[in-house]
Amino acid sequence: MKKFFLCLALGVVSSAFISSCSLSKADSASENLVIDSNKAVSDVVVAETNVEVGGAIMVASKNIFDNITNSKDHTTLIAAVKQAGLVEILSSDDSFTVFAPTNQAFSTIPKATLDSLMKPEAKADLTKVLTYHIVLGALRVSDLKDGEEITTVQGGKLKVGVKNGKVMINNASITISDIVSNNGITHVIDGVLMPR
């Protein structure tokens, strides 16, 4: 995976790309690169995206924050990221995996709780919740193994569950996977992960 991102950063987008930067032993120049559970593309250039999230095409040359900002399904998440002061982190050159709850996921939190978290005096608590959705390093859905625990930037652990091809993070399902940005991977989830 590190070879993939190194080659992507260097702009190697030729037929030699897939053969020299294979993502796994099973990959070959003739196989498709899976971008999400419903879409596959045969060329990494086209993988620039063809993943639509919230009515917007995600673009691999953009950073995580810029990509998810374009999704109409993630306006609550973007407002929270801005309120917590995490824009710079999600726009940085560091590599992250972000589990991105939708607006609908946030709507399951009592309004009074969400409103309270969005107040300036609750910035530390909001940051704790949001950084529980972020993992260092770019993890594709194929990297997530049933039963494993992954450590978040917040310091807590997320439990991965895989059953019949469905991937769960704690109690949330990944609904759109492997959204490639120039500083990592985003997975859309249908629940808000609360630190334990």
Note the pLDDT tens digit of each residue in 58-88: 999 999 999 999 999 999 999 999 999 999 9
pTM of the full structure:
0.75
Q: From the CB of residue 148, how many other CB atoms can be counted at a distance below 10 Å?
A: 13
Give phi and psi for 150, each to the nearest 5.
-120, 140
- For residue 185, give the DSSP letter: E
Which amino acid does the sequence have at 1?
A: M
Catalogue all structural domains in the chain, each as residue range(s) with its CATH number: 1-31 (no CATH), 34-189 (2.30.180.10)
Taking 60 as the threshold, does the pLDDT of residue 25 lie above it? Answer: no
Answer yes or no: is pLDDT of 165 > 60. yes
Band the pLDDT of 43: cuts 50, 70, 90: very low
pLDDT band at residue 96 using 50, 70 and 90 as cut-offs? very high
Q: Provide the residue type at 186 as one letter.
A: T
Please give the share of the chain, as a percent, with pLDDT higher than 70: 74
Residue 184 pLDDT exceeds 50? yes
Mean pLDDT computed over every residue of the chain: 80
Q: Burial, 183: exposed, middle or buried (Cβ in 10 Å; 0-12, 13-18, 19+)?
A: buried
| pLDDT band of 49, cuts 50, 70, 90 | low
Does residue 105 contact residue 189 with C-beta atoms inside 8 Å?
yes
> CB-based contacts of 64: which residues, under 8 Å, 6+ apart?
90, 91, 96, 98, 181, 183, 184, 186
Give residue 196's pLDDT.
78
Q: Which residue has the tokens 């374009």?
A: 70
pLDDT > 60? residue 17: no
Residue range 7-24: mean pLDDT, rounded: 32
Given this model, what pLDDT does residue 16 score? 32
Look at residue 42 in the predicted model and tell me its pLDDT.
30
Token reading at 57: 């095409």
- Between CA 96 and CA 142 the distance in angstroms is 16
How is the chain split among helix, strand and coil, in percent rounded to 5? 35, 25, 40
- Render pLDDT for 126-155 as a digit per residue (tens, 0 to 9): 999 999 999 999 999 999 999 999 999 999
> Helices (DSSP H) in the chain: which residue ranges?
2-10, 15-20, 64-69, 75-84, 87-90, 103-106, 111-117, 123-131
